[in-house]
Structure 1
Amino acid sequence: MDPELLGWPLDGPTLRLDHERFSYAGKFVMSNTGKAVIREGDDIVAAAAFNEDRTDDGALWIRYITARNDRRGEGLGPHLAEFVAERASERGYERVRIAVNNPFAFEALYKAGFGYTGETTGIAELVLERPGDRSGERYRAGLTEFRGRENLSDAERAFLADAEAPPETL
């Protein structure tokens, strides 16, 4: 299953995903973001939407990554993020950023070569960047951000209780 680039933001690609099978499905209908997918046969199993940073010409933001609900946990998201980052680099972008709102996505993006910047967005998402600081100290700082949250699920609490060292890259 090789990732496929459907187009860059100016190309205006759109993608209709089943909202019952994909989180954020409605975000992929918009034509102002680039899109990349992973297919299995004719079926899309993961998708990413991305666009340029309005304040930094050298940066691209991955806005959404989603894997089909029955395929979560298979590493499709980090594989797709790595693919988008590599295509962005080939296109001349110096950095690729993404903001994550849960520790599972945080770890997955570390696997794809991203590092925590120490920044958060206005909606309490942690900003990761590739290339970025992938040190153990920086990784643990991100974990600490998540551990301080009150609205964690039991699965997130269990994950954070065991997490300490950055994961290996893909």
Structure 2
Amino acid sequence: MSAICVYCASGPVDQDYLDLAAATGTAIADAGLTLVTGGGNVSMMGAVVRAAREAGGRTIGIIPEHLMKKEVADLDSTELIVTDTMRERKRLMEEMADGFITLPGGIGTFEELFETWTGGYLGEHRKPIVLLNHGGFYDPLLVWLDDLRSRGFVAQAALDKLEVCDTVGDSIAYLTNG
């Protein structure tokens, strides 16, 4: 394990979530891992990269050109990769990471989580995926997924590919120790 991709909110959120993102960035750097993100410098995405760098970590940001133009890019990234499309961005994020942590977020975060999780379930990769359920943020999703499982729409084997953790420390421990 050398690089962790973090999926999280890039829109306005409460300080609690910004603190969670910062704690995640610090923990990744403290573990000697590289942080891979969507290359933004705002909200939780900005908090996670700033904290990782402040803790001496290496950051790789991957951002599509159209977001560069909106001036939300993390220009201080150790390495900033600019792509033509969002699809290329997500492909590179998945390729460059050895594992994934999904923090609270919105539809973009959900889309990244589900695409990566589905790829793992279908055997496209064997990388561990953590859903960090901070303060029960993902409880409604987990209830819904369990209902889908009981109805036969989601296989237990798919659910087994997603590790649900309640803390940053548990998330990093799972990713680094299995």
Normalized against structure 1, the TM-score is what?
A: 0.33
- Which has the larger share of strand? 1
- Which has the larger share of helix? 2
RCO comparison, higher one (Cα < 8 Å, 6+) = 2
Normalized against structure 2, the TM-score is what?
A: 0.32
